[in-house]
Amino acid sequence: MLNTQIEYFTNSGKMRGGIVSILAVVMISATMISFLAENTGADNSGSDDVWPVLGGDPQHTGQSQFDTSDNKGGVVWSMTQTSMWPSVAIDDDGMIYAPITGIGLSGYLLAINPNGTVNWTFHTGGYVETCPVITEDGSIYFGSHDGNFYALFPNGTEKWRASYNSPDVYSPVMDDQGLIYFLAHGKLHCLDQHGNEHWNFSAHSIDPMTPALSHHGEIILGTSEGILYCVYPNGTLRWSSEVGEEIAGTISIDSNGNIYCIDRGADALLSVDSEGQLRWSYPIVYGTHGASIGIDGTVYCGEGYNLVALDSNGSLIWKYATGGTISSPPAISLNGNIFFGSQDGNVYALDQSGEEVWIFDGNDWVESRPAIGSDGTVYIGSHGGILYAFNGLPDPSPTLIAGAVSALIIGVILAIWAAYPKRKS
């Protein structure tokens, strides 16, 4: 019986060839389907304590506790609005809270599901350019250019608002006791989660500024006169120090308590110790808003078109050149990868040595500070109104797609030819 089967298939070349060709087509098709499926991005479900405040923590280090080894720079999804996206926050469930500057005098805060769909929208009477802070119970706190500081329930309905009659209401931070600190109308304000103001501290002239919390709970802020203030949680002054000409942007603090801030008057990154004494100064270019700090203490900051890595003493370790100004500090994943945008329109991922991991070629300024989700997704917005979620493999190139399609067509032709009965000569 076995010999009969062998002889039958040997004498029926058209059947044998047809089966082999059809199997080849199936294999090619399966490979294409698998390849395209991988390029749809990673699963975004599930999340832990993720990115509840600007810079990921009250010290604004830019550090994430999540690994991004599998993030190859593919766009999982993108969302387009009519104006720029400032930096986002992410809650325990992976919900992304994205402020929108809006059109004219309006602005709003979006709650975006991990799959890129909108959960809810909250409108304000002015631009929303500040990153919100998310509390453990899911409440959201943020300021708007309509002069109000808002508190929302997790479902997007308003809890309360506090009015400051000033468009300058900046990004908040929150301490372990649930007290919220932010700058508005030239003062540092301390509110509880019910909207009661515990105290305010007059800091004279304040440029756009986000304060930071020291590891002891003190609030660090700077002024346009070049003065740094360290304020106790009860609102009394611990120290003040004239360290530069004009302090602006976001302050960050390393694990040793050293403070990093931008002196916009002198175009320099300053490092100040926990007692207010200047440690060192590194020259940069106007336009950079702050620095991030790696787990090993490496300081990352924009220097014009370059991202520079400095050691804790202010010495250059390496620099990486882009084609545009780097405005915002990077985000740093658990495995040490560094993510940032540039005004050349690109989003960059580097390793700790400054080598490229991937580059996304965009077409619009990328100025917002990135945030990292629990699955390694990197979120960053562009000046022209696109919010990107990066993860998984990059989009296949046109050449690769053309090659795969050509192989499929050839396989189909061969299968038809092999299966078609041949005339005997």
- 95 and 228 assigned to the same domain: yes
Higher pLDDT, 182 or 204: 182
Cα(198)–Cα(216) distance, rounded to whole angstroms?
19
- 10 and 144 assigned to the same domain: no
User: What confidence category does residue 81 fall into, taking pLDDT thresholds of 50, 70 and 90?
Assistant: confident
User: What confidence category does residue 319 fall into, taking pLDDT thresholds of 50, 70 and 90?
Assistant: very high
Higher pLDDT, 393 or 195: 195
Contacts of 258 (CB under 8 A, 6+ apart): 271, 272, 273, 274, 279, 312
CA triplet 135, 139, 145: central angle to 5 degrees? 105
Contacts of 273 (CB under 8 A, 6+ apart): 257, 258, 259, 279
Give the pLDDT confidence of 249-263 residue by residue, as tens digits.
Answer: 899 999 999 999 999
In a domain, 44, yes or no: no
Higher pLDDT, 107 or 315: 315
The number of distinct structural domains making up the chain is: 2
- 245 and 172 assigned to the same domain: yes
- 93 and 149 assigned to the same domain: yes
Cα(156)–Cα(291) distance, rounded to whole angstroms?
32
- 177 and 275 assigned to the same domain: yes
Cα(12)–Cα(288) distance, rounded to whole angstroms?
74
Average of per-residue pLDDT across 174-202 = 93
In a domain, 364, yes or no: yes
pLDDT at 405: 58
**Token pair belonging to 47:** 């999340």
Cα(184)–Cα(163) distance, rounded to whole angstroms?
10
**Token pair belonging to 196:** 């009661």
- 27 and 109 assigned to the same domain: no
3 state SS of 10: helix
In a domain, 118, yes or no: yes
CATH code at 335?
2.130.10.10
Residue 66, number of CB atoms within 10 A of its CB:
18
pLDDT at 276 over 50: yes
Residue found under tokens 């929303």: 128
**Token pair belonging to 90:** 């992410």
Contact 249, 264 (CB under 8 A): yes
pLDDT at 208: 66
Q: Are strands 96-100 and 107-112 parallel, antiparallel or unpaired?
A: antiparallel
- 380 and 238 assigned to the same domain: yes
pLDDT at 398: 46
In a domain, 201, yes or no: yes
Cα(78)–Cα(363) distance, rounded to whole angstroms?
14
CA triplet 393, 396, 399: central angle to 5 degrees? 155
State percent of the chain over pLDDT 70: 79
Domain that holds residue 405: 2-38+399-419
- 306 and 371 assigned to the same domain: yes
In a domain, 352, yes or no: yes
Average of per-residue pLDDT across 266-273 = 96
pLDDT at 22 over 50: no
In a domain, 49, yes or no: no
Average of per-residue pLDDT across 399-404 = 50
- 59 and 192 assigned to the same domain: yes
- 149 and 26 assigned to the same domain: no
Higher pLDDT, 27 or 229: 229
- 262 and 373 assigned to the same domain: yes
pLDDT at 393 over 70: yes
In a domain, 217, yes or no: yes
Cα(155)–Cα(383) distance, rounded to whole angstroms?
28
pLDDT at 184: 87
Nearest partner of 13 among 425, 402, 417, judged by Cα: 417
Average of per-residue pLDDT across 184-202 = 93
In a domain, 61, yes or no: yes
- 340 and 411 assigned to the same domain: no
